[in-house]
Each structure stands twice: as structure tokens, then as C-alpha cells.
Amino acid sequence: MNVNKQPTSLSSRNGDHDLYDTSEETIEKVALEFIQLVGSQYVISKLDERRLRSITKWSPASPSHIPNLVVLPQSTAEVSEILRVCSRNRIPVLGYCGGTSMPGAIAATRGGVCVDFNRMDKIVEVHKEDMDVVVQPAVNWQDLNSHLEEYDLFFPPDPGPGAKIGGMIAMNCSGTNAYRYGPMRQWVISMTVVLADGTIVKTRHRPRKSSAGYDLTNLVVGSEGTLGLVTEAVLKLTSVPKNLHVAVASFPSTHAAIKAATTLVQSGLPIYALEFLDKHSMWAINKSGLSKKLWKENPTLFLLFSGLQAAVQAQVETARRTAEENHCKEFVASARREDIDLWWGTRKSVAQSLMEMKNHPTDLFLNADTAVPISRLADMIEETHQVIAKAGLAGSTLGHVGDGNFHTVIVCPESQRDKGEDVLTWAHHRAIEFEGTVTGEHGIGFKLRDRLVDEVGPEAVAMMKKASGHALLERFR
């Protein structure tokens, strides 16, 4: 075994010395136990492969944030045994599924063991009549929806491509569908969770509704792997949306676009999805060539509709009228499959488009994920544009305005890192002042730990720590 020695800076953080043991001897010892358990090909100690589980293009952690060891179990029982061993040896543990976390939730800030779930990727059972599905953590949400098509069933949460159920649960992800369907936590019925000491807990059975004791399901969803590792989940499903229509509305100003969006939200119209891309985002899409169509580079709303035919048509007309009342320059709508794929695919391509605006591979892709009450959204976005301009940076605002949630993305050279980070820090504090949150869907990871205290206060963080019992606590200590 070639076992990595952790930099001392990690193992000594915040008195970690007493809490954790990631010494070479201990890691070598447990590696042998894991080899007995899962086989040597599933216990990884090569530096490059360990780094791959911690640092990705979406999750640029510090070079030192690397696990000492990666283990790939194949069952709940194996995960239980791995955690029992780690607990006994005081080794910190992180889970890994798709690796698409943006705030660095996969960064092994204390080293330790990475449990990679990618051998647990089965769709275990579809209950068509009950409209639920049992899955393992490494199932990708797009693959799941392909599988469910034959049952006319649909799993709504739609984070970035590549995301997998385990990570989606850990981070309480959402996406463009959350406006209609709510975030991940609304789609998890129950889970099998392995706690730090190896205890296996099933959070609940499969009824759609329950008031039986504390809601362990919701406690674990969004806990970012700090309370335990999820080895199986029962997910709620719904029927596939019918009569899809897509619309794109182009506005003369951010103010007009956001005014139209908030008016639609406040009307209670059951729109499927309501997304905003500012003109810099539209420019990046054209520049990247990721969309087959060339778009007007204006502040733009992307809308989806579905439901009974008559209802959808009425919704599209209401949306068109609202857009026009807010000085919309152009409103186009379509029910053609190819338009839906092209137009909505364009909206979905924006993160990648912005990523491609890097002039150099070492350029930074900095991003924020604030959400505010809808009445504050126009001010929040317009002020963000002013602050970006004042800093002399190139930045975009885009995202799920129907939920009051949007992303600020700044692509800049390393030399402008401080300026970029200052903009994001400003955005976080402004969102808090507006009674909002620093993260609508990406989570805290290791990057926003201090912001969490700023947002909810030390009393709430203390309550979170208490609620964790004696869990792994890779992050919250």
C-alpha cells in the first residue's frame, strides 16, 4: 500500500488532533481491513484517483483537501462495516457519488476515508401503483427518468447533469423543476442511512404522509453527509408532465424581466418553470456555440408549461400578456418537441457556456447561490449587477427566479480572485439583509461554513450541532 500522509495543517485544525486520526499507520491498518471486506481492487490509495474524488471542475477544492483512502462498497452491510472501522479508529469520512458539488461538499478538508458509492448504482424496484421507486445512491437522475419513461412516471429534481441521488439527497438540490415540484426533500419518502458508528437506520416506511416521530428523512436530506451515509432511498414519483409548451421572452432591461417574473409568481399561475438569464448569460451562450440557435442578447425569461391542453393555452396567454405589460420586446411560444429541446436545452447549457468563457484553464469560475423573498428579487439582482460592474469584472446573474433563487457567476483570472470573492461575499450578506439565504440549492460545503453562522445565528448552528448527536461531523464542528 502506498498510503498518503496528510499535511499537518489539516490534522491540527481546531483541535482535530484529539478528534481524528489520519496518521499513516492508522490508514494503512484500516486499508487492510477494507481489502478483506471489499477486495483490493476497491480500496484505492493512488494519489491521482484520490484527488479525482475531491477536486473537479465544478468543485475546485484546495490541493490539500484529498482523502487518504477511497473505498467502494457494494452493500449497506459493507458501508456499515466501513463506518464501524472508521469510527473505532477516529477517521473522518465523506461520501462520494457524482462529484458535481459546487460549494466543495466533496472536499476532504480533514483527509480520511472517501466512501465512493459508484458500485451501488441499481434501480432496485419501481412501485408503479404507489408511484415510488427504490434506488441506490449512485443512480443518476437523468438515467432514472429514462428508466421511468415506460411506466409514465417522472422524478422532478433536475440539478446539474451528472448529479446522482446520494449527493442530491446530501445537498437538498433542486433545479429548474423546483418552482412547480419543490426541492429534493419533497421527493424523498424514506432512506436507509448508516450512522457514524455503523448503525443502520431506516428513516420511515413508504406511506406518502406520516406524523410518526421526528422527521428523520428531512433531517438527513440536506445534512451533507454529516449525519450518516445514505445507502438506499425510496423516492416519490409523479406522472410525466403532459402537453409541454415552452416560451422565451426577451426584455429591454433586467428590471422589466424580473418585474414580469414576480408578477407571474404572485398571480399564482401554475407555471411549470420560470427561469431568468441576464444579457451576459445570453452573450456567453452565443459565444460558446453550445446552442444551435443564435439568441438576442437581452435579459430573457425562459418558461415551461404543462397540464391539460386548455389550461396550458390559457397559461401561455396569461404569461404573454404579463410579459407584454412589462415591455417585453419579443415573446415566442411553442409546443414542438424540437423547440422545447432546443430552447430549454439552451437554458440548461448556461453553466457550461459560462465555464467556457475562461480565457485560460487556470481562470476561476466563482459562483453564488442566493435566494431571497420574491419582493426583494429585483433589487437583489439589480444591485448585484452594479456591484459586479463597479468591481470591473465580467459576471452573470441567472437562475430560478420563480423561487427567488439565482446564481451569480464570475469568470476571471486568478489575479482577480479577491475582487471576485468580494462580490460573492457582498451578495451573501445582501441576501441575508433581505431575509434570504446564502444557498438556495447548492448547500454549505466547506466554502460557506462561516456564512451559515452569519445567516442563521450561533444559536441555530448550536442546535444543528446538538441534532447531530455524535455523527461524523466532517463539517459542522
128-187 residues in contact with its own copies (CB under 8 A) are 129-132, 171-174, 178, 182-183, 185-186
Pick the stretch among 89-97, 287-295, 382-390, 455-463 that binds its own copies (CB under 8 A).
455-463
Residue 77 interacts with its own copies (CB under 8 A): yes or no = no
Rounded to a whole number of angstroms, the minimum distance from the CB of residue 65 to its own copies is: 20
83 binds its own copies (CB under 8 A): no
Contacting range for its own copies; rule: CB under 8 A; set: 42-50, 51-59, 111-119, 452-460:
452-460
Between CA 90 and CA 85 the distance in angstroms is: 9
Output the smallest distance, CB 41 to its own copies, in A. Answer: 32
Among 1, 32, 266, 337, indicate the residue that binds its own copies (CB under 8 A). 266
Q: Minimum Å distance from CB 73 to its own copies? A: 19
Pick from 225, 140, 221, 209: nearest CA to 184? 221
User: Is 212 near its own copies (CB under 8 A)?
Assistant: yes
- Determine which residue in the list 111, 112, 137, 443 makes contact with its own copies, applying CB under 8 A: 443
DSSP symbols for 244-273: -EEEEEE-SSHHHHHHHHHHHHHHT---SE
State the minimum distance, in angstroms, from the CB of residue 218 to its own copies: 4
281-320: contacts with its own copies (CB under 8 A): 307-308, 310-311, 314-315
Looking only at residues 373 through 392 of this chain, which bind its own copies when binding is defined by CB under 8 A?
373-375
Q: SS in 3 state form for 180-244? A: HHCCHHHHEEEEEEECCCCCEEECCCCCCCCCCCCCHHHHHCCCCCCCCEEEEEEEECEECCCCC
The count of other CB atoms within 10 Å of the CB of residue 445 is 21
Instruction: Give the nearest distance from C-beta 185 to its own copies in angstroms.
Output: 7
Tell me whether residue 279 or residue 442 sits nearer to its own copies (CB atom): 442
The verdict on 452 binding its own copies (CB under 8 A) reads: yes
Query: Does 441 contact its own copies by CB under 8 A?
Result: yes
The smaller minimum CB distance to its own copies, of residues 56 and 439, is found at 439
Q: Which is nearer to its own copies, 109 or 291 (CB)?
A: 109
Query: Of 209, 338, 360, 361, which one interacts with its own copies (CB under 8 A)?
Result: 209
- Identified binder of its own copies from the candidate list 37, 77, 123, 200, rule CB under 8 A: 200
Q: Which of 25, 20, 18 is nearest to 3 (CA)?
A: 25
Taking CA atoms, 356 is separated from 286, 306, 413, in Å, by 11, 32, 13
Cα–Cα distance between 55 and 8 in angstroms, integer?
Answer: 20
Distance CA 170, CA 156 (A): 17
Q: Does 372 bind its own copies (CB under 8 A)?
A: yes
Phi first, then psi, for residue 14 (nearest 5°) are 50, 45
Establish if 63 lies at the interface with its own copies (CB under 8 A). Answer: no
Nearer to its own copies among residue 112 and residue 307 (C-beta):
307
Identity (one letter) of the amino acid at 449?
R
Shorter beta-carbon distance to its own copies: residue 243 or 334: 243
> What does the DSSP assignment read for 307-356?
SSHHHHHHHHHHHHHHHHHTT-SEEEEE--HHHHHHHHHHHHTHHHHHHT
Pair 59, 99: CB distance under 8 Å? yes
Three-class SS state of 70? strand
Q: Under rule CB under 8 A, which residues in 224-243 are in contact with its own copies?
A: 227, 238-239
Beta carbons within 8 Å of 201's beta carbon, 6+ residues apart: 192, 193, 194, 195, 216, 228
Residues that contact its own copies, how many (by CB under 8 A): 92
